[in-house]
């Protein structure tokens, strides 16, 4: 299940597998371009600006994004976490997700 509480650890690539396709696509889009505004997200995903804004804000509240600039001209970028020292470890939920459970 997708975590609902803010992630203090920041975004991790494995989080992509626990998000809805719409949320995941926004994060993957930002991974490639570095940052993006509400308008740019709305254009990219062909959705109303209000919807793009609420999706970005929701991802910010969950600790995956940081916003810079003032309202209306905010730009969002990913807030990455550190790699885990135990390299190779992934949240067990991923395997459940692959199993469809």
The bridge status of strand 65-68 relative to strand 35-37 is unpaired
* Tokens found for residue 18: 């626990």
Q: How many residues does the chain have?
A: 101
Q: Should residue 16 be labelled a site residue for another protein when binding is judged by CB under 8 A? A: yes
By three-state DSSP, how is residue 9 classified?
coil
Q: Nearer to another protein by C-beta: 74 or 79?
A: 79
Q: Nearer to another protein by C-beta: 33 or 39?
A: 33
Q: Nearer to another protein by C-beta: 70 or 98?
A: 98
From the list 36-44, 54-62, 67-75, 82-90, the region that binds another protein by CB under 8 A is: 82-90
The bridge status of strand 75-78 relative to strand 35-37 is antiparallel
Q: Smallest distance from the beta carbon of 19 to another protein, in angstroms?
A: 10
Quickly tell me which residue has 């390299």 as its tokens. 87
Q: Should residue 58 be labelled a site residue for another protein when binding is judged by CB under 8 A? A: no
Is residue 30 within 8 A of residue 23, CB to CB? The reply is no
Task: Kindly list the residues in this chain that would bind another protein in the complex (CB under 8 A).
Answer: 10, 12-14, 16-17, 21, 24-25, 28, 31-34, 78-90, 97-98
């Amino acid at each position: 299940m997708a975590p609902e509480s803010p992630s203090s650890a920041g975004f991790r690539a494995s989080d992509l597998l626990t998000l809805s396709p719409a949320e995941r696509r926004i994060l993957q889009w930002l991974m490639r371009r570095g940052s993006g505004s509400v308008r740019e997200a709305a254009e990219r995903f062909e959705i109303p600006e209000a919807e793009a804004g609420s999706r970005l804000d929701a991802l910010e509240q969950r600790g995956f994004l940081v916003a810079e600039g003032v309202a209306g001209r905010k730009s969002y970028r990913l807030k990455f976490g550190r790699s885990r020292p135990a390299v190779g470890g992934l949240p067990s939920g991923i395997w459940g997700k692959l199993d469809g459970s």
